[in-house]
Amino acid sequence: MRDRLLKPAIDHRRLGQFLTGDWVKNIPALTERCAPGEYIIRHEMRSYDYNYMSFMEETGAEYIGRVANWIYFRRKTELGQFDIFSDIDSKISHLNRIGKALAFGGFLNLGLGFINIINSYHTGLINLLASTVLMYALGRIHGKKEALEKDRNLYE
């Protein structure tokens, strides 16, 4: 249970396992029935960019939808492997984007928690707990980023 709550982001493997069932477009108002294992699902944290969407469609990926800053794509399994991030640098920049969002949320909750505790509001403890969880997730992201940088240095 603890690992499920403290994961910084959905793992592509787990997302794929979740969505290879009967439902592929499992984003609100975008559900569509399909055969299990018919599609490979990937997601990325990025702003909307028409050129990027065109590029992804050229690779055979279909835009499923968007939830907040997360963009979801799918591609038929029969077309082969589907990876959004082809090199280590793009993976590192993606982790940086996630890390910035987690740091913003963590520090915001930390500040709000201290302000609420000083003002004798009991909700400050909830903010501090949320800050702790977000900072833990930030640490996990940082660890993954360091491992990728170490791999990049090995291949250079």
- Taking the whole predicted model, whether its pTM rises above 0.85 is answered as no
* More reliable by pLDDT, 13 or 4: 13
CA of 94: how far to CAs of 56, 70, 90, in Å?
Answer: 16, 11, 6
Which range (84-93, 117-126, 139-148) has the least confidence? 117-126
Confidence of residue 100 (pLDDT cuts 50, 70, 90): very high
pLDDT for the residue 129: 94
Mean pLDDT of the chain: 81
Query: Which pair of structure tokens corresponds to residue 103?
Result: 């740091």
Residue pair 43/70 in contact (Cβ under 8 Å)? The answer is yes
Query: Partners of 74 in the beta sheet?
Result: 41, 62
